Amino acid sequence: MSALEFARRIRNRQHAIGYWVVLDDPIATERLARLGYDYVAVDAQHGLIGYTGIRNAMLAIDAGATSAAMVRVEQNDPFAIGRVLDAGATGVIVPLIDSAEDAAAAVRATRYPPEGRRSYGPMRAQLRVGPKPAEANESVLLLAMIETPQGLHNVAEICATPGLDGIYVGPSDLRLAVGGETSTDPAVDEVFEQAVEKIAKAAEAAGIAAGIHTPNGEVARRRLEQGYTFASVASDLVHLEQAAKAHLSAARGDL
């Protein structure tokens, strides 16, 4: 699937399922990217991975010729956004978006003039995304994360931002934002679910995609049935630990 085809799929609110990578291991990432996920997202914010690792992850994902390569950047910054796009990302997920102004700034960072202020230097991206500025503008996705009290309050205005392709829920921070004492606090389940529903409806009303991070495939399926249009599943580090623990328990006869 080309970058443009994937971008159109997300913009058209077609269902997509992705995987989340936090480890700096391109060989593992390449194997994951061959499993059939629609996209693989590399986490440059909380992941254990730097720029060289991001670049190598893009190579690994593209080698599979199956999944689109996404990156969650460190922050809403033109340099952070521009360099992962130059490395070949088909789109970026930008954290901590509090307002329509924040979202508009992120849009400008992903688009070449006159639509934005992205600097032209697609070192690797020119091989597959673009390279003409207008083509790149059409092929690159921008997703804004809704995960703060301000972002939740302003979600309708954020979703209405021109050029924004979709929003993405960070459930851990969102649970804290609605009053949770921890990122998994069950005491706020009801208000958390209300927030998740509010975000999905705001995206639908604006005609943009709505995505969410989930802990497993079952929850991902439930969120898609709930109205979300794409969902990411867990992460490589989480699954590595879960699999190793399960095998240890089996070997010890704990199961």
Burial class (CB in 10 A: 0-12, 13-18, 19+), 67: buried
Local confidence band at 255 (pLDDT 50, 70, 90 cut-offs): low
Mean pLDDT, the chain, integer? 96
Residue 129 pLDDT: 81
Q: Which of 46, 153, 213, 239 is catalytic?
A: 46
CA separation for the pair 206, 161 (Å, rounded): 9
Of 66, 61, 59, 52, the residue nearest 24 (C-alpha): 52
The answer to whether the beta carbons of residues 57 and 49 sit under 8 Å apart is yes
If DSSP codes are grouped into helix, strand and coil, which group holds residue 15?
coil
Residue 254 pLDDT: 78
Q: Would the pLDDT of 46 be above 70?
A: yes
Give me the mean pLDDT over the 3-29 stretch: 97
If DSSP codes are grouped into helix, strand and coil, which group holds residue 178?
coil
Residue 128 pLDDT: 78
Instruction: Tell me the per-residue pLDDT of 113-168, one tens digit each, with 9 for 90 and over.
Output: 999 999 999 999 988 787 799 999 999 999 999 999 999 999 999 999 999 999 99
Q: Would the pLDDT of 247 be above 70?
A: yes
Structure tokens given for 240: 């590595």
Give me the mean pLDDT over the 100-113 stretch: 98
Question: In the annotation, is 46 catalytic?
Answer: yes
If DSSP codes are grouped into helix, strand and coil, which group holds residue 127?
helix
E strand or H helix that includes residue 9:
helix 3-11
Q: Would the pLDDT of 170 be above 90?
A: yes
